[in-house]
Amino acid sequence: MSKKVVEVKTLKVGKYVILDGEASKITSIQTSSPGKHGSAKARVEAVGVFDKQKRNIVKPVDTKIDIPIIDKRVAQVLAIMGSDVQLMDMETYETFELPIPDELISELVEGVEVDYIVALGNKKLMRIK
């Protein structure tokens, strides 16, 4: 798995974090001030990139947390097969199939180039170029 370790205090809204083994995009971060006997805590809320599930954690701001290395790539549409699309990576010429997101189903045509991401062994179609 391709991931890095960072401190919770370096996280920002819109970046990615690994929660429950899934790559998730951070939607909000709230921090509490340090108390008399404890350190400051951060509440991180995120939505899964691949499964769209909401997740949250509460941790001290100086603890370490994993963040995924998101690889953004370009592919060409070879064929549309119902709710799936066959793609060919423009660098490695590898062919694979991915499900078509609902928002792209009407705009997707054969021969067009698309952006997709790879994170933690999963792939997802993001947008049409």
Task: Give burial (CB, 10 Å; 0-12/13-18/19+) of 46.
Answer: buried
Mean pLDDT for the chain overall? 93
pLDDT, residue 17, reads 96
**What distance in Å separates the CA atoms of residue 35 and residue 23, rounded to the nearest whole number?**
31
Angle at 110 between CA 107 and CA 111, to 5 degrees: 110
pLDDT digits (tens, 9 = 90+) for 88-121: 999 999 999 999 988 888 889 999 999 999 998 8
At residue 105, the pLDDT reads: 87
Half-sphere exposure of 109 (CA within 13 A, CB side): 3
Q: If we measure between CA atoms, which residue out of 2, 44, 51 comes closest to residue 22?
A: 51
Structure confidence at residue 1 (pLDDT):
54
pLDDT of 106: 86
Residues of the chain with pLDDT under 70: 1
Residues of the chain with CATH 2.30.30.30: 3-68
Where are the CATH 2.40.50.140 domain residues in the chain?
71-128
Share of residues in the chain with pLDDT > 90 (%): 81
The C-alpha atoms of residue 106 and residue 83 are separated, in whole angstroms, by: 11
Identify the CA nearest to 100 among candidates 79, 118, 119.
79
Q: Please state which of the four CATH numbers 2.170.120.12, 3.90.550.10, 1.25.40.10, 2.40.50.140 is assigned to the domain occupying 71-128.
A: 2.40.50.140
Task: Give the residue among 120, 128, 126 at the shortest CA–CA distance from 24.
Answer: 120
Q: Identify the architecture of domain 3-68 in CATH.
A: Roll (2.30)
